[in-house]
Amino acid sequence: MEKGMRSQNAHCLVLPFPTQGHINPMLQFSKRLQHKEIKVTLAITRFIFKTTKHQLSGSVTVETISDGYDEGGRAQAESREAYLDRLHQVGEQTLTNLVEKLRDIGQPVDCIVYDAFLPWALDVAKRFGLVGAAFLTQSCAVDNIYYHVYNQILKLPVTGPKVLVPGLPPLEPLDLPSFVYDFESHPPLYKLVMNQFSNIDKADWVLCNTFYELEKEVVDWMAKLWRLRTIGPTIPSIYLDKRIQDDKAYGLTMFKPSNDDCIKWLDEKPDGSVVYVSFGSLAELGIEQMEELAWGLRGSNKYFLWVVRASEEAKLPKDFVEETSKKGLVVSWCPQMEVLSHKAMGCFVTHCGWNSTLEALSLGVPMVAIPQWTDQTTNAKYVTDVWGMGLKAKRDEKGIVRGSEVEHCIREVTGRERGKEIKMNAIKWREMAKESVDEGGSSDRNIDDFAANLVNS
Ligand code: UDP
């Protein structure tokens, strides 16, 4: 047995917020816990359970709660606000039922690891006398900004030219998350990110999907507030330490990937020649932005693999797919880790969602950041100015990243000067990411610590 393990299994119930970008990291963390001989039950909504393909090798058990929309999930709700309210009401009740059910069938839960977007789950844990661990799915830098806003240490509206937050480099207002610099833009989402901190002081643990070496200063600062542990990057083990057998993919996708098409297509391309483009599972681009991106990709004259979700497809310029079919492949979803780690990969044009950012850092893929909203703006700042892994594309006065700028950034990150510097950083981050989760690394030790305490609590 590895260090930090015990003979008698503790049981964790892991509860992610029901979107792809939250399920992936919490599922991966579940696999790591399982590897430390903690029994894990992953709770997803009935709608996601019914409509996704799960290929969960190993023994992470899946159970369901309800968000109140079992037939349609988020799409069934009349508004985002209505969805979040009902998720709270019905989610809290059905989570309670699930904890009772597991107790009644002789599999009592010891701890609830809950997505910090669902702070009511901590109330459920406390009602049953269980250990409650908040899981922060975004970067620590972003978490710290929200913490400062929530506690009104950072007052809104923010004013420039520089915003100072402990543990972070000086930021311009537009480097902050969009829910902070434009705090009236999405009130229900503003509430969602802020409420992460409403009861966090009562959590027994605060787990963060990052690794210590990546965000040292801010982690040190936040670790003074709570029993905080960095446990990432939460990407399949095969891409890092390879210690978890069969952990080759996330294993639960809400979209249907065009696997064979993508990989076959990449196999035929020269090493390092492909631009991969994806804006994740949620971002919606304006038509003009979509067109500019299309012209930029065409103008770069490089091979490109572009993920355009089915709901975004109608925004593609007419005939673009046919006209560029010699150079490009447009798919509705792909196995992103396989794509990013492919030898044909040249650079990643990305929204800088936190998972995508961690994935590219861990695999060493240069990024062209075109952040859209939420935490992506802050991630893009770090990618460019702190981690030296890419370039943030500039917007014009209308807020659009023009095709010429897309072309310019692609050339820069894959070119001789900036490209060389990025390559050096890429090797450094790739090694550090791997070391952090490998035996004795910073995240590995933190997971050991968490697991050992569960056993003894
Ligand atoms: N992803 C994928 N295939 C795609 C696009 C994205 O598997 O075609 C995965 C990606 O690897 C990442 C997640 O979806 O783990 C997206 O999370 P992220 O935080 O980057 O963005 P979000 O979707 O939350 O905005």
List the residue whose alpha carbon is closest to atom 2 of ligand 1: 336
What confidence category does residue 457 fall into, taking pLDDT thresholds of 50, 70 and 90?
Answer: confident
Residues marked as catalytic: 22, 115
pLDDT, position 300:
97
Instruction: Say what the pLDDT of residue 106 is.
Output: 95
**256-433: CATH, from 3.80.10.10, 3.40.50.2000, 2.30.30.40, 3.40.50.12160:** 3.40.50.2000
Partners of residue 322 on adjacent β-strands: none
Site to substitute for ligand 1 among 336, 342, 351, 363, most atoms within 8 A of C-beta: 336
Q: How far apart are CA 151 and CA 98, in angstroms?
A: 33
> Residue 336 Cα, ligand 1 centroid: separation in angstroms?
7
For ligand 1, the distance from its centroid to the CA atom of residue 209, given in whole angstroms, is 15
Measured over the CA atoms of residue 322, residue 326, residue 330 and residue 331, the dihedral's sign is positive
Locate the domains of the chain by residue range: 11-251+437-456, 256-433
Q: Kindly tell me if the per-residue pLDDT of 3 is higher than 50.
A: no
- Residue 382 is given by DSSP the state I
Specify the residue with its C-alpha closest to ligand 1, atom 17.
21
Instruction: State how far the Cα of 88 lies from the Cα of 81, in Å rounded to an integer.
Output: 11
Q: With cut-offs at 50, 70 and 90, classify the pLDDT of residue 258.
A: confident
Confidence of residue 53 (pLDDT cuts 50, 70, 90): confident
- C-alpha 222/C-alpha 217 separation (Å) is 9
Atom nearest to 253 CA in ligand 1: 7
Percent of the chain with pLDDT over 70: 97
- Mean pLDDT for the stretch of residues 193-201: 98
Indicate the DSSP class of residue 171: B
Same fold: 11-251+437-456 with 256-433: yes
The SS3 assignment for 296 reads helix
Q: Is 131 helix (H, G, I), strand (E, B) or coil?
A: strand
Which pLDDT band, with edges at 50, 70 and 90, does 200 fall under? Answer: very high
CB 223 within 8 A of CB 170: no
Which atom of ligand 1 lies nearest, measured to the CA of 352?
A: 20
Between 8-17, 149-158, 299-308, 365-374, the lowest mean confidence (pLDDT) is in 8-17
Residue 4 predicted with pLDDT over 50: no
**How sure is the predictor about 93, in pLDDT bands with cuts at 50, 70 and 90?**
very high
pLDDT beyond 90 at 260: no
Q: Measured in angstroms, how far is the CA atom of residue 222 from the centroid of ligand 1? A: 27
Nearest ligand 1 atom to the CA of 24 is 15
Radius of gyration of the chain (CA): 21
> How much is the pLDDT for 324?
97
**Is residue 44 over pLDDT 60?**
yes
How far, CA to CA in Å, does 20 sit from each of 25, 83, 179, 281, 425?
9, 16, 20, 7, 28
Pocket of ligand 1 (CB under 6 A): 20-21, 24, 278, 280-283, 307, 333-337, 353-356, 359
Q: Write out pLDDT tens, residues 312-363.
A: 999 999 999 999 999 999 999 999 999 999 999 999 999 999 999 999 999 9
Amino acid at 192: L
Neighbours of 280 (CB within 10 A): 20
Indicate the DSSP class of residue 366: -
In tens, the pLDDT along 380-397 reads 999 999 999 999 999 999
CA of 151 to the centre of ligand 1 (A): 30
Residue to substitute in 17, 19, 20 for testing ligand 1 pocket (most ligand atoms within 8 angstroms of CB): 20
Residue listed under structure tokens 């959590």: 203
> Taking residues 407-419, what's their average pLDDT?
96
- Of the candidates 283, 299, 396, 277, the one whose C-alpha atom is nearest the C-alpha of residue 347 is 277
Ligand 1: which of 48, 258, 355 to mutate, most ligand atoms within 8 Å of CB?
A: 355
- State the average pLDDT for the chain: 95
In this prediction, residue 54 has a pLDDT band, given cuts at 50, 70 and 90, of confident
**What is the pLDDT at residue 456?**
80
pLDDT at 57 over 90: no
| 352 CA distance to ligand 1 middle (Å) | 10
CATH number of the domain at 11-251+437-456, please?
A: 3.40.50.2000
Report the C-alpha gap between 82 and 76 in whole angstroms. Answer: 10
Distance 357 CA to ligand 1 centre (A): 10
Q: What mean pLDDT do residues 189-214 have?
A: 98
Which of 53-62, 107-116, 234-243, 358-367 shows the lowest per-residue confidence on average (mean pLDDT)?
A: 53-62
Quote the distance between the C-alpha of residue 71 and its chain's center: 26
